[in-house]
Amino acid sequence: MKTIIFFSLFFLYTLLPTTAQEFGCHWICSHDPDDTTQIQFRRIYFSYSKPKQASLTIISTGRFQVYVNERNITGDVLMPSMDSVRGTLKGLTFDITRFLQPEKNTIAVWYSPQKGICSDKQLSLSYFGKTAYDTSFCYNTDGTWDCRSTGAYTLPGNREYVNGEKECPDWKSDDSGYLKWEKAWYSSDTTTYACHWESSFYPSQKITHIIYPVSTYSDSLGYHIDFGKRFKGWIRLTIRDARPGEEIHIGGLTYICNGQMDEQACRRFTFDTQKEVIISGDRNFKASQIQSIEGLEIQSYFHQSYLY
C-alpha cells in the first residue's frame, strides 16, 4: 500500500509545475549579445555507443527551438518563454532517448531575444543520462559550444527580419563545420532570476490549420491577400525566380531572398493576427514570383512531455 501511495505522489509531482530561484545553471552567450539578433548554438557529443537513456534540460531568457540530430524534439513552433513582466525563467526537461544515435549526437538550439529582457544569459542546457554501460553522464553548456549569427532578427513592434542568403539547413547537423562558428562565451550577468519549472504537461503553441487566401489583387501598394477570416499565426510564401538580395515585405516580416528554387519566407519567433495583408518589395519584386501563399494558424495547447 505504501508503495502505491509513493508512486501516486511521485506521478502527481511530475504533473505539477514548481517555482524556485535559478540554481545550477550554466549560462552561455554569443560574442556580441544584443536584444535583436537570433543566434544558433551547437555542440557535438561523442560516445562509444548509443546512450541507454538521456534527457535534456533547457532554460533561456528568450525564445528557442531545440534539435537533437537535426530533429525538432517537440514539434512545437513557440515553446514557453521567460515571463518578461515577472522576470521569471521557464525550465523544461525532455527525454531525448528516441533521438539518439551511436558514436555521436548533435544538440542544436536556435535562440531569439525577447522584448523587454536585457541580459546576456542566452542559454543554459544540460544533457544527462545513462551510458550503454549503465554509468551516469552529464554535460552542461560551456565554452566548448559553437555559436553563430543567423542573419535573422527579432525587432520591436512584433516584427522579424530574415536574410535568406545566410540560411543554411545543415547548421543543426554534425556536418556544418564549414560555417563560421565561434566559441560561445560565458554570461557576465550576475542577476538571479526566479525559475518556473514546467511539469510534464505544459502550455505550448503549435500549427493547427493551414488557411489559403479567398481573394487577391494588385495595386500601386503591392499584392493584397485576404484570408476571409482572422487568425493568429504566420504567413508562409513559396517564391520562385527571385533575385539574390531581393527584399520582400509580408506584414511584419522582411525577407531577403537567396535566389534558390522555391525558397520559403516565413517568421520563426513572432506571430500576429492575420486577415488582410499587403505583400510588397523592392524594384525586383513581382507578384508572379509567388508560387503559393499559406496562412499557418497557431493555437495554444498542453504539450505532454515524458520526463522519465
The domain that contains 283 carries what CATH number? 2.60.120.260
- Looking at the fold, whether 190 and 57 belong to one and the same domain comes out as yes
Q: Total domain count for the chain? A: 2
Let me know if residue 165 belongs to a domain: no
- Given a cut of 70, is residue 242 above it in pLDDT? yes
For the chain, the distance separating the N- and C-terminal CA atoms, rounded to the nearest angstrom, is 23
Question: What's the pLDDT score for residue 246?
Answer: 98
Model confidence at 233, pLDDT cuts 50, 70, 90, reads very high
- Looking at the fold, whether 186 and 252 belong to one and the same domain comes out as no
Let me know if residue 284 belongs to a domain: yes
Q: Of the candidates 231, 306, 247, which has an alpha carbon nearest to the alpha carbon of residue 281? A: 247
Model confidence at 203, pLDDT cuts 50, 70, 90, reads confident
Inter-CA distances, 73 with 32, 79, 92, 159, 169, Å: 28, 11, 12, 26, 16
User: Which helix (DSSP H) or strand (DSSP E) does residue 119 occupy?
Assistant: none
Check residue 177 and report its DSSP letter: T
State the amino acid at position 72 in one-letter form.
N
Average pLDDT, the chain: 88
- Strand, coil or helix: 65: strand
Task: Give the least confident one: 110-119, 136-145, 275-284.
Answer: 110-119
Task: Give the least confident one: 70-79, 139-148, 191-200.
Answer: 191-200
Angle at 248 between CA 247 and CA 249, to 5 degrees: 130
- Looking at the fold, whether 46 and 192 belong to one and the same domain comes out as yes
- Given a cut of 80, is residue 7 above it in pLDDT? no
- Given a cut of 60, is residue 6 above it in pLDDT? no
Question: What's the pLDDT score for residue 19?
Answer: 54
Let me know if residue 59 belongs to a domain: yes
- Given a cut of 50, is residue 211 above it in pLDDT? yes
- Looking at the fold, whether 133 and 27 belong to one and the same domain comes out as yes
- Looking at the fold, whether 190 and 43 belong to one and the same domain comes out as yes
Let me know if residue 169 belongs to a domain: no
- Looking at the fold, whether 190 and 222 belong to one and the same domain comes out as no
Question: Looking only at Cα atoms, what is the longest distance across the chain?
Answer: 76
Q: Tell me the residue range of the domain where 221 lies.
A: 205-304
Let me know if residue 83 belongs to a domain: yes
- Looking at the fold, whether 143 and 78 belong to one and the same domain comes out as yes
Let me know if residue 174 belongs to a domain: no
The model carries a pTM of 0.89
Angle at 86 between CA 80 and CA 92, to 5 degrees: 30
- Looking at the fold, whether 145 and 255 belong to one and the same domain comes out as no
